[in-house]
Structure 1
Amino acid sequence: MSWLTEPDEEWDEREAPPRGHRLKMAAAVLAGWLAVSLIVLVGLLRFGDRDSLGKRAGSPAPKATSTATAPTVTAPTAATSRPASPASSPATGAVPAGWVRRAGDEQANCTAHSYGQVQIFFARTPCSGVRRSLLTTERNGRAIVVAASTVTFGSPAQATSYLRLVTSDGTGNVNDLLREGVRYPGSPSKLPGAAFASRQDGPRVLVAEAAFEQGPSDYQDPTLQATARAAVEAG
């Protein structure tokens, strides 16, 4: 060995640490890094838990939702009632001024409340209903009784056929209320000789017969004829 290389070898032996020593140092550094990382991780997790708990504590509780729908209750409204005026009551028809309604009804079976060929007609062509009235008025000091009926059909064509029949002599009619036993103070037991009037209003046919309550009564009397016309016009 030359004197020139010997010092170098001694220098190398002094400066280069043993291999085992280097591994120990690397392991120590790695362990320290892992320890620091673990501490940081734990700290972050704890901080996150506190933050999450704080948010849940400060958040309002969610509202409960229900799928059941409460029934809607409508308060009843107060009904206003007043006595029906005879001149405007749909169930009894209009009454001319100064007349008095003595009785009235409505029937669904026209066949059971009619006679003659008219009854046969109703058996073949049923009506929708009939409204009957017994009215009184006075003309020239004489009391007049008026028997009126309004028959309603399912169509105007049926009403026209009925009008053609009921206006023919001797074919019958709807029973007036006197015929079925209705009475009022001073009423006759049956309808005397009476003037006749009729008209059609779409599916309705209005018929009226007017007679004097007492004394002679003739269907050709102009006063009775005018009274019968007034009854059907009032409807």
Structure 2
Amino acid sequence: MTQRIPPIRPSDTAPLWRSELGQLDSLMSTTPPPPARPRRGLLVKGLGLLGVALVSGLVWLLVKPEKSPVATPAPTSAPAGQFTFAESPQVPEPLKDSDCAVHAYGETKAFLTRTPCQQLTRGLYTTTTPDGMTVYTSVSVVRMKTTEDAAKLKDLTTRDGTGNVNDLVKDGAVKVEGLTTLARGGFASTQRDRDVVIVESDSVKHGPNEPEHNHLMKKISFDALRLAANLT
């Protein structure tokens, strides 16, 4: 016996799909779509931040402190030698005079009175011996008017008992406690065209061996001849 299936009527299905559609409409109405990102607002905001950064950079450039230049040691034209010399703080700049005779004694003074120099330039330096002794060195550059006059002065000052150009201690230009002159130490001289370089060195205290001390002072004076490059 075949069972008869009753036909489906529109009235039987209408409530079902209408109900489902109602639920879908309700869901769509209660869940709003995500708001679109306002592109114009972001662009304006980005331009604003860029402007602030530019203004801040300009302000920093205007108010930033200037860097102080790094101090560098003053170059010296003197070549390297055996001893290390430092300029005396008592003579920060070379002492110059066009009258050499007033800064000399003995036959040297008489010669410079008859044969005036063109200029006298002097400096004072210090160095330290290996045993820690401080040595004072006076460097004098006498510029004569001719090379012949310079040769005569050089010959005169290298002979004993003929006087010399005053070192800065003897001349009273500097004060070193315990020293009245550097002439009792070591002496050296040389001629360079019209210039005669005269160097004298000594220390306040001498060692127990006087000849050995004088030999060391003479050695220092010969090395200090190169310092004339700083004075000319």
TM-aligned CA deviation for residue 155 of structure 1: 1.1
User: What is residue 214 of structure 2 aligned with on the other side?
Assistant: 221
Alignment of 1:112 with 2:102, yes or no, is: yes
Could you list the per-position Cα deviations for residues 128-180 of structure 1 after superposition, in whole angstroms to 9, with x for gaps in the alignment?
Answer: 00111111101111111111111001111110011110101011111111112
What residue number does 1:201 align with?
192
Q: Which of 106, 119, 122 does residue 112 from structure 2 map onto? A: 122
1:151 aligns with: 142
- Measured on the aligned residues, the alpha-carbon RMSD in Å equals 2.8
Cα distance change, pair 178–148 in 1 and its aligned pair in 2 (3 A): same
Contact 1:118 1:172 in 2 (8 A): yes
Q: TM-score, normalised by structure 2?
A: 0.57
* Amino acid of the structure 1 residue aligned with 2:151: T
| Correspondence for 1:133 | 123
Q: Cα 1:219–1:154, aligned 2, differ >3 Å: closer, same or farther?
A: farther
Using the TM superposition, give the Cα deviation of residue 188 of structure 1 relative to its aligned residue in structure 2, in angstroms: 2.6
Instruction: Give structure 1 stretches of 5+ with no counterpart.
Output: 1-81
Quote the offset at 1:193 in angstroms. Answer: 1.7
Higher relative contact order (Cα pairs below 8 Å, separated by 6+ residues): 2
Q: 1 CA distance for matches of 2:126 and 2:221?
A: 11
TM-score of the aligned structures, taking structure 1 as reference length: 0.56
Cα deviation per residue 1:202-232 (whole Å; 9 max; x = unaligned)? 0001011111232346586332122101111
**Distance in 2 of aligned mates of 1:107 and 1:185:** 22
CA-CA distance at 1:185 after TM superposition? 6.4
1:194: how far off? 1.2
Q: State the 1:192 CA deviation.
A: 5.9
**CA contact under 8 A between 1:106 and 1:132: conserved in structure 2?**
yes
Q: Tell whether the 8 Å contact from 2:98 to 2:120 is kept in structure 1 after alignment.
A: yes
Question: What is the rounded CA distance, in whole Å, between the counterparts of 2:192 and 2:217 in structure 1?
Answer: 22
Q: Could you say what secondary structure the match of 1:221 adopts?
A: helix
Q: CA deviation at 1:83?
A: 9.2
Contact 1:209 1:228 in 2 (8 A): yes
- Matched with 2:227 is 234
- Alignment of structure 1 residues 4-23 onto 2, 5 Å: none
Task: Give the match's secondary structure for 2:123.
Answer: strand
Aligned to 1:162: 153
2:79 and 2:226 in contact (8 A); partners too: no
SS of 1:85 mapped into structure 2: coil
Larger radius of gyration: 1
- Letter aligned with residue 146 of structure 2: S
Partner Cα separation in structure 2 for residue 182 and residue 84 of structure 1: 26
Identify the residue that residue 85 of structure 1 maps to in structure 2: 74
* Equivalences, count: 150
* Change in CA separation of 1:189 and 1:164 when aligned onto 2, cut-off 3 Å: closer
